[in-house]
Amino acid sequence: MATEVKVPTLGESVTEATVGELLKNVGDAVAVDEPIISLETDKVAVEAPSPVAGVIKEFKVAVGDTVEVEAVIAVIEEGAAPAAKGAEAGRAQEERAEGKQERADTPAPAASSDAAQTLSPAVRRAVLEHGVDPSTIKGTGKDGRLTKEDVIAAAKAKQDGGSAPAAASGVPAAGAGERREERVKMTRMRQTIAKRLKGAQDNAALLTTFNDVDMSAVMEARSKYKDLFAKKHDIRLGFMGFFAKAACLALKDVPAVNAYIEGDEIVYHDYVDISVAVSAPNGLVVPVIRDAQDKGFARIEQDIADFGKRAKEGTLTMDDMKGGTFTISNGGVFGSLMSTPIINPPQSAVLGLHRIEDRPVVVNGEIVIRPMMYIALSYDHRLIDGREAVTALKIIKEAIEDPTRMLIDL
């Protein structure tokens, strides 16, 4: 008996996705709920599972196809049908899928000797995540193609002090002085990021205000309590918890920074849902710490650590990123000294954090060296006045420089 596999529900207001990877081949046996196709939506990757146990008879889609919710994407033959029979029946379909994948992922080669490797989205993510050169890895997939396992094995060999497997013979090494180009279709997530950020510039009156923060008090508190904190809560005490709680103070006192414009109305919130910008293999994602105003440092740090882990694994869900009233983006982890972050629509403000570095400052008439950080607040000037933006940033600065304020709600 043949059973159709359909595109699952992707989330609120999400009606279509792009086929990112075929996780199985025609003729492969699958178990109930075993993922067979990875689908890329505007924000996350979603896996489509098999509803029955059986053998994959046919794929109705290829990598790069756009599919809608409830569209049929594969056919499963229930029971233990011989894999060879299923493979023979679907061979033409598989070849069509591979051909389409190659057209979607790589440019038309100028000559056969310059043909570039074809990398599936999953392999590309693994290459970016592990920082390896795909041209130095020998592929074990069909026709010598790289698999995700090949990349992971090469990264492990590199970490252990060995060298990556030799490049596949079908991929020639670049000659001296030779210059190459690669044309790769943007992922659905990258397209969405581009549209949203450009939309923010087009629709909002963006302005950024800056301040600098003496991080001495927070660094001293972390140094004094980090071991006890980790022992009690089983999580590392980071800087983000301090800034999240400081932001909650600021948004309480300046509610416009926690609001947004909808039509000719302003929507205010009596809660703070903080979107935290997290780097994922295929782009920036912003999962949400909900009701941050009611959470302690430990819970906030646990949420952030969980988001970072799942972003790396590609297991964040649409619900994780839905909503959000304010965003914190930490470019300092990449070494940024100063930036003008762009708001995350429909939000009206974003706090940008940057690297900490020792700088000379004047304290009580004397020049001293202190660990300083520049902070930036970008905001929609249609809703937030300059006075309100400066006040909110000043509250954050004062709370970080004197963390006791966060305990006594000042």
Rounded Cα distance, 159 and 130, in Å? 10
Using alpha carbons only, give the angle 155, 158, 163 rounded to the nearest 5 degrees: 120
Continuous H helices in 279-353: 297-313, 318-321
> Does the active-site annotation cover 381?
yes
Residue from 33, 291, 294, 385 carrying the catalytic annotation: 385
E strands, 93-247, where? 206-214
| Cβ contacts of 365 within 8 Å, gap of 6 or more | none
What is the β-pairing status of strands 29-30 and 283-285?
Answer: unpaired
Q: In 3-state terms, what secondary structure has residue 1?
A: coil
Q: Which residue has the tokens 């690669």?
A: 182
Exposure on the CB side of residue 374, measured as CA atoms within 13 A:
15
Query: Helix crossing, 297-313 with 240-253: angle to 10°?
Result: 120
Q: Which H/E stretch holds residue 16?
A: strand 16-22
Residue from 269, 381, 402, 409 carrying the catalytic annotation: 381
Catalytic (active-site) positions: 381, 385
